[in-house]
Structure 1
Amino acid sequence: MSITEDLIDKGIIYAVGKGESSGGKRPELLAVVPDRFFFIGVDIGRTSVRVVVMNNCRDIIYKVSKPTESVEPEELIGQITEMTISSINESKLPHDRVVGIGVAMPGLIERGTGRVLFSPNFGWNDIPLQDELKKRLPFNVLVENANRALVIGR
């Protein structure tokens, strides 16, 4: 109960009524406050970079797709940074309610560090993508293999 009360106090969930009972006390029904927190998803592809802004309920608030401008690490990281910040600003999100950014990158990605060990799509070897994005973006960043990110996101 203390966890539930804490989540209600923080405005993350709210009570929506009482459920049916098969005996005993009727359960309290809870729902998530949809726009309390937001998440950013970035899909890096050989031909395009896509950015999606979602709320707690996985509703898409904003999305944009642009052709991949360059496969050079510095230039592509710059494009990702610009598109992410622009998406947050365009969707008018309070920055303090952005939980983090998940980045899907094709190739062999070192788990935990988000380092691109090898990406055949881009010809990258040993690129610290997660660290570079963390330096440029004021949010938590997690870089994951694109196929793994797809499975996690479902």
Structure 2
Amino acid sequence: MSTGSHAIGRLILQLRRLERQPRTFGEGGALTPSEIHTIDAIGSEGSMLMSELAKRLGVTKGAVTQVIARLHEKELVDRVHDPDDFRVILVSLSEKGKSSFQAHRELHEKFYQDLYAQFDPKEIEIFEACVDKLVAYLQP
């Protein structure tokens, strides 16, 4: 196996480790990766249908329902019935949820600023092209 293969393997393992650790974002307290990714998906839209949220996250409606229940209990999301169809639930971020959404966005911005400070523009261009190819290769 080549050194590149080992480097990619180490990168994947490190990303998996990061994805398992709860972190604190704003006023939301400790949030799991699935919780903050759900907050991020809702925050980019304002409010959305539970079914749209499941599709965006690539998970089942049952999985989204469980995460939303936890986030609602933590007072990070609001659930309301769609005025046009009472069977449909719309989810949106509470003020506390918006704080977590913003803190998550700021963390990502700082991460990218710090990362890009390590590379010159040509290295960034090559890195982004390599990541795009790796992501495309890993798509099911």
The answer to which structure has the higher helix fraction is: 2
State the TM-score bracket (shorter-chain normalisation). under 0.3
The answer to which structure has the higher strand fraction is: 1
Higher radius of gyration, 1 or 2: 1
**TM-score if structure 1 supplies the norm length?**
0.26
**TM-score if structure 2 supplies the norm length?**
0.28
**Which is bigger in relative contact order (C-alpha 8 A, separation at least 6)?**
2
